[in-house]
Amino acid sequence: MQLSIDVLKFVGKPKPLTNILYYMRINGCYVPYKSPEIEAITCNTPSAALRYTSFASPDGLSEAAERVFLKNPVLGIRYLKKIRREVFQNDDTQSRFWKKIMKKADLAYYWAQLFRKRLNEKEEEVFLQSMTRMKEYSYFVIKGRFPEKMHNMILLNSYAPLPEHEKKSLNDYIKYAEKHPEMVPWE
């Protein structure tokens, strides 16, 4: 028996379509493939695209559909982790996504921590925006002190007026760096 679905009936309502595809997939009635018609309905927002990936397309989306994650880099990072890739398929999408990640210390730390990857020397300078993320990156990603140039830039921040929690994170890092004087090289 063959089943056909008029996917156009689900325009504006991606959740029911995703649910149907999910139940068909887990019962062996649907083999995930990258259908432009289905992706156009189910991947209008980053959260809907992530849900569709989780339920009906575990191997990821098409190059065109992946662009939706430029609207929400946090969900883009979660999508990449879910499909076990570090980059998007399209180079332009990846370049634009990476620029957004490198503008915020929170996003850079989230990506580095999830993928257990170190950023390059220039990219690590994003952590000068947030002493809290800088400390966490040092503790949990590079597991040591920053290289000399970055370490000196961090020390210069100790003279800047910082909120109390940022000052505490900076002091914690300095103590940590004294206990771990070895600098961790880039891989």
Residue 1 has pLDDT above 80, yes or no: no
Residue 180 has pLDDT above 90, yes or no: no
Q: Where are the domains of the chain?
A: 118-187
Which residues does 15 contact at the CB level (< 8 Å), separation at least 6? Answer: 48, 51
φ and ψ of 184, to 5 deg: -90, 120
pTM of the complete model beyond 0.75: yes
Band of pLDDT at residue 50, cut at 50, 70 and 90: very high
Cα 184 from Cα 164, distance rounded (Å)? 28
Q: Residue 100 in contact with residue 71, Cβ under 8 Å? A: no
Which residues does 158 contact at the CB level (< 8 Å), separation at least 6? Answer: 170, 174
- pLDDT tens-digit profile of 16-49? 988 988 888 888 887 777 788 989 999 999 999 9
Cα 30 from Cα 3, distance rounded (Å)? 10
The pLDDT score that the predictor gives to residue 68 is 97
